[in-house]
Structure 1
Amino acid sequence: MAEPFKATILNVNDDSASRYVASRILEMGGYRVIEASTGQEALKLAAQHRPDLVILDVQLPDILGYEVASRLRASPDTASISVLHTSATFVTPDKRVQGLDAGADGYLTQPFEPAELIATVRSLLRLRHAERELRVRADQLTAADRRKDEFLAMLAHELRNPLAAIMTAIGILERKPTDDVKEARMRAIIQRQTHHLARLVDDLLDVSRITRGKVELRRERMDTLSVLQQVLSLIRPTAEGRGLSLESHLPGTPLWVEGDSTRLEQIFMNLLDNAAKYTDAGGHITVHASQEGVDGSAQVVVRIRDTGIGIPSHKLPDIFELFAQADESLERSRGGLGIGLTLVRNLVELHGGTIGATSDGPGQGSEFVVKLPVAPHLSPPFGKPQPPTGHSLHRRILLVEDNSDARQALKDLLELWGHRVQVAQDGMEGLALALEVRPDLALVDIGLPGLDGYRVAKELRARVGRNIRLVAITGYGGPEDRSRALQAGFDHHMVKPVKPDELNRLLMDL
């Protein structure tokens, strides 16, 4: 059998008789003991042997035990060692406080009984052992959290590749009208579910980034009404397709806020999608927006009310917590990951706002209220130029993509728009083709075999300069991924699955 673990104790005392007695008591208690008679020797032995506990007399010939304890705590190598002060002279309450403030874990007055010493040592060792276990556990959780984030990023990339191919393919099919009612219905289903899957992937990654504090808002002074109108136009077909009526009450004057338009759209889209999801056919959804309060306390208030399944009173306090679900039925027919409202709350709070939920109970519907600070009074910003309608000029385009389905679907779509397209399935082939044919534009995936998209961009910038426009089309969609793409030389960064109309707008803008 293996020898049972024995804790090592450093016994520090300049009085040889007192040191001998304490060491014998500890050895009889089953501990390994090493000894020191000065403060400097104690610091050296502690760093060398890393004992589990230091029994430290306060009165030492070179430096006081208070200073020894303080230095032990200050060094990363010895900070986790337990320290027990002992003294026959420094025994007043203020001296005990001084010792504990210096870093000691306990304080014994000499002379002490053997049983008292052993019991105190055992108590301190138990506490230190528990602290070490907690530290190890915390390190394990940190490592697991990092691996989880890496897994989510890779999962998103792998999911976005097939989603990109499906979305591009349905974009091509939509350009060819069909008289077959069933086929048209199937196309609509594929399109809706593909967009739904893409949103689930985005929400999953966003909530992970937000909980780690890695989301930065791109703030600008903007009109909340424009965001609401955009979201309503997107959600209306879904709501009406489910047999719901959607009504909005919006003011005729702007509702200015300092916000990120993409994130605000995400907030209201999630809330309206939830309302539609949890309201049965024949139900009603109402959106009301207004400005409340005056001057510094003025707020833009958006209320989204539905006549759906409602929220039980015991669920209301936790409705914005991660993985909370209003649908408690076994079949969970409403779907969802339980992360949408957590994401919404965090995004609202990043904007300096608040969100609340109310419900009269099951079957009584629910209301979500978003409140955002009104932007300071400034001259209205110039409107953003609207992209032209129609298709962009015909261009020579190089497409570098290793996923065969995504590559073929995007090639067919670009050729349908009248562009001349050449394709490559890896980074080396893409770089060689770009140097040979000198395209106007290269659409480059990042996760390529051999030579990744970042290196392709850097090589092209070094060899061709600014005579080619580079667009990263990738499943890696975090802010750090966008920043890295721009640093590598890309002009734009687009996250898969790219919507055909967004790609066409980009080509027109270029």
Structure 2
Amino acid sequence: MLPNGYFEQGELRYTRCFTRDASERVARDEALKQRDILIMQAPVGAALLLGESLRFELANAAYCEMVGRPDVIGKTFIEVFPQLQGTPAETMLLKVMRTGEPHFLDAFPFTVQTPGGPEERFFQCTFQPMRSPAGAVDGVIAIALDVTQQVRVHNTLLVAASERERLLDDLREASRAKDEFLAMLGHELRNPLSPIVMALQLMRMRGDTGTAREQGIIQRQVEHLVRLVDDLLDISRITRGKIQLKLAACEVQPLLAKAVEQASVLLEQRNHELAIRVQPGLRCVCDPIRIAQVVANLLTNAARYTEPGGRIELSCEARDDDRFAIRVRDNGRGIPPEMLPRIFELFYQGPRGIDRAEGGLGIGLALVRSLVALHGGTVEARSEGVGRGSEFVVCLPLSDPAAERPATAAPDAAPPEEAAAVCRILLVDDNVDAAHTTAQLLRAHGHEVAVRHDPLSALEAVQAVRPDVALLDIGLPVMDGYELGARIRAICGPDCHLIAVTGYGQDADKARAREAGFDRHLVKPVAPEEVLAAIAGAARR
């Protein structure tokens, strides 16, 4: 309101008043005041920059502390932060001024001067346009949040994840190397065992009774070595998920009898009393070889940790939950309480005597747990302490009659009444002892055998021998047995029965032999009767 008066001789004659509505201006001023209050009292860093030069009009204490500059008011953005010229921060501020659109800058790195020296920090910035009453963009409100701690944690996690991935790669490589080593170890151990087994059989065929005791010792030790090799390779297959169960409907009692037979040598050596109590009529669907292996391992473990002359009990009975329990209990050394949680860990072994009379590699119980788990069962170790014996309880599902399927007979099993036909056999093995003993065994059963120790001489002999059967080692020099088999097949066609006799016995090796055209795959050391049965099967076909 503006007064306007008219005076004559010093006296007011009349007056006029002009009224203007200032509500909009007052409201605008109040809004700007509230805006400034919000900026200055914001719990995060906030600043107002005006004009094309982006001059600081306002900056709250949090903002000044964040950027390490308390003297920003009245200065342009580049005057305060010359190091940010041309960076995304300046580019986005200018873009907001030009387009009127807000922009967001995440984890922007910025070096702050602190009392302790320069320090790199990271800010999360939001740039909002500020408009004049006419709608033009005349400034930018900058909101900054210090995310240094989050960025550092994130970077630490990234480094940890990268390190974890590197370690996983190292573990995968170590696992691959381990599997290759175990395969080679199995091959190298089985190769010398094969001629030993054949030599024993030849001695028995000749009726050499003067060394019967020594033959028995050799036979037992060979079987022990074979079990160790098989356990090592089984663990390798299980840890890689490569083992496959061959399920069949079975009676439990014969399975346990087979397990007792496998463990009987050690039980007899240590003069243990073995008590067996099995509920008759129990049936299950399982891999009979694997379950017999489980129980044999438990019996062997009990025998090792029970003093000579001790007592071992094997029992089996149905439970009330459609499962049955196999129990192996001994009165041996017992298990310390601190060992019970780890007893099934791979390669874990309790305290050993200096003579290592217990033997073993620390894989038997780990193998037991893995095989039982594959059957949907559980295994538990119990002991009241040192010197008070131990008990292992395996629980497995009873069979579902609808799920039972009969076990198939082993292929190439020659009927007992059928006499095997005479075959022309080409035997190729670079292990001279193995080739010699196997050839003697086959000749003793009437077969014609040509022996070669390298692939090239074997190929030269194929035309002359025209073999009905080729017994080929796989790990041959110059040319492996797979390639040699393929070349023999190309020369002789389907009339020649190819049998791989090798120390490589993993599932992948068997699959590769099938792909290469082999009819059979025998793993060293091969039992003489298994070789003869394979030859008989080839003759029948």
User: TM-score if structure 1 supplies the norm length?
Assistant: 0.75
The question of whether the paired residues in 2 share the 8 Å contact of 1:348 and 1:354 is answered with: yes
The farther-off stretch of 388-397 and 347-356 is 388-397
Equivalenced residue count is 431
The amino acid that maps onto 1:143 is: E
Does residue 377 of structure 2 align to residue 347 of structure 1? Answer: no
- The 1:60/1:284 distance shift into structure 2, 3 A limit, reads farther
Counterpart of 1:310?
334
In structure 1, how many angstroms separate the alpha carbons of the residues matched to 2:319 and 2:100? 70
The amino acid that maps onto 2:388 is: Q
Q: How far did residue 162 of structure 1 move?
A: 1.0
- The 1:502/1:276 distance shift into structure 2, 3 A limit, reads farther
The amino acid that maps onto 1:354 is: T
Q: How far did residue 136 of structure 1 move?
A: 2.3
Cα RMSD for the two superposed structures: 3.6
SS across alignment from 1:279 = coil
The amino acid that maps onto 1:267 is: V
In structure 2, how many angstroms separate the alpha carbons of the residues matched to 1:279 and 1:23? 81
Q: How far did residue 465 of structure 1 move?
A: 2.7
In structure 2, how many angstroms separate the alpha carbons of the residues matched to 1:162 and 1:285? 35
Does residue 381 of structure 2 align to residue 381 of structure 1? Answer: no
Q: How far did residue 331 of structure 1 move?
A: 3.7
In structure 2, how many angstroms separate the alpha carbons of the residues matched to 1:357 and 1:238? 21
In structure 1, how many angstroms separate the alpha carbons of the residues matched to 2:494 and 2:91? 70
The amino acid that maps onto 1:367 is: E
Does residue 287 of structure 2 align to residue 260 of structure 1? Answer: yes
The farther-off stretch of 307-316 and 348-357 is 307-316
Counterpart of 1:337?
361
In structure 1, how many angstroms separate the alpha carbons of the residues matched to 2:264 and 2:182? 31
In structure 2, how many angstroms separate the alpha carbons of the residues matched to 1:325 and 1:271? 15
In structure 2, how many angstroms separate the alpha carbons of the residues matched to 1:117 and 1:299? 58
Counterpart of 1:320?
344
In structure 2, how many angstroms separate the alpha carbons of the residues matched to 1:37 and 1:474? 73
In structure 2, how many angstroms separate the alpha carbons of the residues matched to 1:160 and 1:427? 21
In structure 2, how many angstroms separate the alpha carbons of the residues matched to 1:411 and 1:250? 44
SS across alignment from 1:88 = strand
Counterpart of 1:238?
266
Counterpart of 2:470?
442
The amino acid that maps onto 2:382 is: T
In structure 2, how many angstroms separate the alpha carbons of the residues matched to 1:472 and 1:21? 83
The amino acid that maps onto 2:197 is: M
User: TM-score if structure 2 supplies the norm length?
Assistant: 0.71
SS across alignment from 1:466 = helix
Aligned pair partner of 2:215 in 187, 200, 222 = 187
Q: How far did residue 318 of structure 1 move?
A: 0.9
The question of whether the paired residues in 1 share the 8 Å contact of 2:234 and 2:367 is answered with: yes
In structure 1, how many angstroms separate the alpha carbons of the residues matched to 2:326 and 2:495? 47
Aligned pair partner of 2:204 in 166, 171, 174 = 174
In structure 1, how many angstroms separate the alpha carbons of the residues matched to 2:480 and 2:105? 59
- The 1:193/1:16 distance shift into structure 2, 3 A limit, reads farther
Does residue 311 of structure 2 align to residue 284 of structure 1? Answer: yes
Unpaired segments of 5 or more residues in structure 2?
Answer: 1-51, 55-66, 68-76, 93-98, 109-120, 129-141
Determine which structure has more spread, i.e. the larger CA radius of gyration: 2
In structure 1, how many angstroms separate the alpha carbons of the residues matched to 2:505 and 2:366? 20
The question of whether the paired residues in 1 share the 8 Å contact of 2:442 and 2:449 is answered with: yes
The question of whether the paired residues in 2 share the 8 Å contact of 1:327 and 1:334 is answered with: no
Higher strand share: 2
What's the CA shift string for 1:35-91, capped at 9, x where partnerless?
A: 69999xxxxxxxxxxxxxxxxxxx99899779x99xxxxxxxxxxxxx97722269x
Q: How far did residue 340 of structure 1 move?
A: 0.8
Q: How far did residue 216 of structure 1 move?
A: 1.4
Counterpart of 1:86?
124
SS across alignment from 1:364 = coil
Aligned pair partner of 2:489 in 447, 454, 461 = 461
The question of whether the paired residues in 1 share the 8 Å contact of 2:122 and 2:147 is answered with: no
The question of whether the paired residues in 2 share the 8 Å contact of 1:38 and 1:60 is answered with: no
Unpaired segments of 5 or more residues in structure 1?
Answer: 1-14, 28-32, 40-58, 70-82, 91-108
Counterpart of 1:105?
none
